[in-house]
Structure 1
Amino acid sequence: MTGPLWLGIDVGTSSVKVVLVDDADRPVADAASPLRVDRPQPQWAEQDPEDWWLAAGAALDRLAADHPAAMARVAGMGLSGQMLGVAAVDRHDRPLRPAILWNDGRAAREGAMLERVVPGFAAITGSRPMAGFPAPKLLWLNFHEPDVLRRARHVLLPKDYLRWRLSGDAASDRADASATLLMDTAAGTWHPPILAACGITADQLPRLVECAEVTGHLRPELARRWGLPVGLPIVGGAGDNMCGGVGAGVVTDGAAFVSLGTSGVYFVANRDFQSSVGQGMHTHRHGVAGLFCQQAVILSAAAALTWVADLLGADDVGRLVAEVEAAGISSADTPVFTPYLAGERTPHDDPGLLAAFSGLSFATGRLHLVQAVMEGVALALADCQDALAATGAAVTGPIALVGGGARSRLWARLVAAATGRPVSVAADAAVGPALGAARLARAGAGGPLIGGAGELLFAAEPDASLAGALAAKRDRYCAHPRR
């Protein structure tokens, strides 16, 4: 086989994934290395940026060992990553503290303060300054760890920390950067009054680029380590939600996807900038030129499934889900679960919300609990759809389902039933953000953004009886005690 290959790297919350695809978007090889989230205090979530680098290196080492000929054909690299993380590095290129992640809720007070200090904050940035976003977290650092900001040479998003290590370039694409809430999102530039309110300067932030723009080239010693071409170009890439959209083919006005990753995301592309001012919604720039995106996010999706598996002593989540699917449990027999294990963003915008089971009985077994978690996530995504509709986001066509949870046909059926919309799952749904990053790398070299139509793995239409069972639970779901 000949022809160029494209490398996509996705710095996720639970792992770093790398994928090689050809010009027709056919996967040639992939690898992954796990990551761990630290929670040193309630509502805190952190990772050491060095762990991102080590995990990425391990995954690329595996590709280099198993597919040396393919690595030699790579013509471009694109980056994707978990959004909203704050990584500060000093003048010696060392992280000054663990990165504060997207699902960290410590900065709620600072968010409220920014909203008071900066008039029209959401109209400028596209979102209210909710606790998980970088702007409030930087203000929190300014108050609680001012030495970190004083010593910070660069403040970087997760994938951009990886870029720094790969090429020495401090750059960020305008899509991922728009979610920092430090930007004038419509204009695509840093916003000086917001920077000043957060206690940071533009000199500490990366230069802004387009998603398919080349930001630099792989360091020669790393090219030799992984058998990659010397001078390999690296493009801007995008945040994992935007890259997930590119990977899922959500690249036109009104197209939508739902991600069942660590978090749950309901993402709608649109051509107009529509700022979101309530219900935990946010609007950012898409990874596709000329498009914006509205996002509704639940903070615990597959993370809730992992939590209940750990609670039940199950060490293989996939096997546990397979047991549930084989059991054929009726939704009428499962308890109600609200997945607010880390607070909630959409539609409640409250980092203090708590999860709950209700409707338990002696007949409730371990598999009932697992299915209830999956149902609760589906109902939370229905809440997201209602919030999107309230802000005028119009979805056209079926929803593309992506992320690790997309492997489950039951979960796909539950999402279709809860939202009332058909769901499609592509064969490459589990590597969507990494695929999107690879596609942006190809576009940066002058090739097409979409190289080919992905193979459809399965589809799910809304099932009337299942939809009725979930609708019957909706009142109890919405009425659960939240504090």
Structure 2
Amino acid sequence: MYLGLDFGTGSVKAILQHDDDTIIATGSASYPVSVPEEGAAETHPDFWISALNDALSQIRYRAGLKESELLSVAAIGLSGQMHGIVPISEDGKVLYPAVLWADTRGSTFLPIIEKAIEGHEQVLLNAPNSGMTAITLLWLKKYHPRIYQEARWFLFPKDYVRYKLTGRISTDYSDASGSLLYNFKSRSWDVEICKILKIDIQKLPPIQDSTAIAGLTTWEATQFGLSEHIPVATGAGDTPAALFGSACFETPMLDNNGQKSSHNVIQISVGTAVQVVRPMITIPAFNPALNYYESVISGQGYHMAAMLNGGLALERVREWLNYNWDEFYCEFDENPYAIPSDLVFLPYLVGERTPYRNVNARGAWIGLGLHHTRQDLMAAALFGVACTVRLGLETLLETNKSITLADYELRLIGGSSRRLSWVTLIASVICQKLTVYEYADLSVKGAAALARTMITGYIPRPCTGTIIQPKIITHFEKIYSQFKESYRRLYEKNYDSQVNVYG
């Protein structure tokens, strides 16, 4: 049996699988994201540990274990939200809550960092964006210098959890590559960039393969109902773990008849954020509107359009409108194409990355009238998020105009994919069919697959899914055009650069 753990922005998911990938049991538990001040997004790691205990208790119960029995598995794999950091002391004490990817407090450093790293773009392959590890470290160094100095390690979320299970410090290439401190040519922390930004490279964890054995569970793991001496894989960020779990690879694979096959794939994840991802075996040219990160498999990476406001925006809108999801979808399912043509929703509650890279963008309903209903506002919000998916796809395809969207298989994953009417709306906005997998939470499936690969060398095979066809709705094109024009009229990229990065 293999255990997969995925630490997302707001919850942990756990899955226990047989050697043939059939699911034995699942568990999940949520935790809060606190906003102690404007722009903040934090979670204390103690909440992750408490949620892990709850999720594993569910696994043990559903697997038929008695309360006193420990769960013994062949291996454990992890995945987790990227970019966030946890500063810990030499003895493992958490010195400050985890600062997450959605945190924008470091945004004032962006123009200075962009200037500081000029000439290094083709080595870093990513433009500075708020919430990225390097920016957060500079913010911490400026505003919490004592914590920065006392920290022995800065760990990514999944790496902190693995440290609690094994007592060992490390990270993987996928998480490291999303830090803006990683050199894609040397596949290591970039000494020169760390020197320019005055970030202590010795505080960054050693990097190893996602499927390497990062350590064995210690006696402390027994507090979660796990046995000792279980091998734990290094793991990966949530997006590369999902790519691995769904076998979304660029390299040729064997089909069901044992023949090699290869085709273009784009995987869309609509979770808290939205990612539109294309796996690659060649390093692309630097594009400031896109991200490029290492994949789980050595020699592979992925190009990504990253939109910050997916479920994050929809969940907040749901709260404002006092809906519960079942209530809304009960209404929406009756006519999911009745999107008001005179109402546009911009979902940029925490700014935006692709394609605008504008931390100052904000959300809005535009065109509100007395005739609009609560359902209209919610439906417009769904349409606005679907528009960001299309905008991400268009930005990604601009890097290779010889291939059209119709040449790709488009896969949709994430919790949102469980709602048929919502998925059909996305397909209709992007005007392409979507393959939706039966099991939506592929990051945790990927974590379990990493554990299996670590022990056996097995590489996942492509999943089967359901094809969702788009509906041709003529006024959707008009709303999409209004969506893009509304942003252009309302927001411009504008940073306050009056901050001393090196203070």
TM-score by length of 1: 0.92
Work out which of the residue numbers 263, 266, 277 in structure 1 matches 2:273. Answer: 263
Find the counterpart in structure 1 of residue 481 from structure 2: 475
Change in Cα spacing, 1:221 to 1:44, as seen in structure 2 (3 Å) is closer
Check the 8 A contact 2:340/2:376 in 1, yes or no: no
Q: Deviations for 1:352-409, whole angstroms, at most 9, x for unmatched residues?
A: 1011112323332111111111111111111111111122386653211111111111
Query: Could you tell me whether the CA contact under 8 Å between 1:248 and 1:400 is conserved in 2?
Result: no
Preserved contact between residue 56 and residue 225 of structure 2 (Cα < 8 Å): no
Asked if structure 1 preserves the Cα contact closer than 8 Å seen for 2:340 and 2:380, the reply is no
Structure 1 SS opposite 2:475: helix
Contact 2:164 2:220 in 1 (8 A): no
Alignment counterpart, residue 436 of structure 1, candidates 413, 437, 446? 446
Q: CA deviation at 1:97?
A: 1.2
* Range 227-236 or range 210-219, more displaced: 227-236
Letter in 1 for 2:382: M
Contact 2:87 2:154 in 1 (8 A): yes
1:405-444 matches, cutoff 5 A: 405-429=416-440, 431-444=441-454
**Aligned partner (choices 11, 21, 24) of residue 15 of structure 1:** 11
**Which amino acid counterpart does residue 485 of structure 2 have in structure 1?**
A
| In the alignment, structure 1 residue 312 sits paired with structure 2 residue 321 | yes
Q: How does 1:52-451 map to 2 (within 5 A)?
A: 52-69=48-65, 72=71, 74-222=73-221, 224-252=222-250, 254-279=264-289, 281-314=290-323, 316-333=324-341, 335-392=343-400, 396-429=407-440, 431-450=441-460
Q: 3-state DSSP class of the match of 1:128?
A: coil
Deviation at 1:426, TM superposition (A): 0.9
Aligned residues: 471
Q: What is the identity, as a one-letter code, of the residue corresponding to 1:271?
A: I
Q: Helix, strand or coil for the counterpart of 1:273?
A: coil
- Does the residue aligned with 1:445 lie in a helix, a strand or coil? helix
> Using the alignment, how far apart are the partners of 1:142 and 1:225 within structure 2?
34
Provide the rounded CA distance (Å) in 1 between the counterparts of 2:233 and 2:170: 10
| 1:91, distance to aligned residue in structure 2 (A) | 2.2
Q: 5+ residue gaps in structure 2?
A: 252-263, 493-503
1:67-102 deviations in Å (ceiling 9; x for gaps): 255974521111100100011011231211122111
TM-superposition CA deviations, 1:182-203 (whole Å, max 9, x none): 1102431010122223333232
CA contact (8 A) 1:337 1:376 kept: yes
Cα distance between partner residues in 1 of 2:75 and 2:188: 26
Taking structure 1 as reference, are residues 130 and 61 closer, same or farther at Cα in structure 2, changes over 3 Å only? same
3-state secondary structure, aligned to 2:249: coil
Q: What amino acid sits opposite 2:359 in the alignment?
A: P
Per the TM alignment, residue 42 of structure 1 is displaced from its structure 2 partner at its CA by 2.0
Offset at residue 308 of structure 1 (A): 1.3
C-alpha root-mean-square deviation of aligned residues, in Å? 2.0
Q: Secondary structure at the match of 2:29?
A: strand
Counterpart contact for 2:152–2:203, Cα < 8 Å: yes
Q: Aligned partners of 1:319 and 1:405: how far apart in 2?
A: 15
Q: Which amino acid aligns with 2:369?
A: S
Percent of aligned positions that are identical: 27
Distance change in 2, residues 1:437/1:186 (3 Å): farther
Q: Given the two structures, how large is their TM-score scaled by the length of structure 2?
A: 0.89
Amino acid at match of 2:202: D
Partner SS for 2:267:
strand
**Residues 278 and 144 of structure 1, relative CA distance in 2, 3 Å threshold:** same
Distance 1:398 1:455 in 2: 13
CA contact (8 A) 1:88 1:155 kept: yes
Q: Please state how far the C-alpha of 1:12 moved relative to its aligned partner.
A: 0.5
| 1:120/1:426 CA distance change after superposition, 3 Å | same
Q: Distance in 1 between matches of 2:43 and 2:205?
A: 20
Alignment partners' CA distance in 1, 2:218 and 2:355: 44
Q: Which moves more between the two structures, 57-66 or 83-92?
A: 57-66
Cα displacement (A) at 1:239: 0.4
SS at match of 1:165: helix
359-368 vs 233-242, greater mean Cα deviation:
359-368
Change (3 A) 1:71 1:347: farther
Distance, in Å, in 2 between the alignment partners of 1:199 and 1:323 is 54
- Once residues 23 and 433 of structure 1 are traced to their aligned partners in structure 2, the CA distance between those partners, rounded to angstroms, is 18
Contact 2:428–2:470 (CA<8 Å) still a contact in 1?
yes
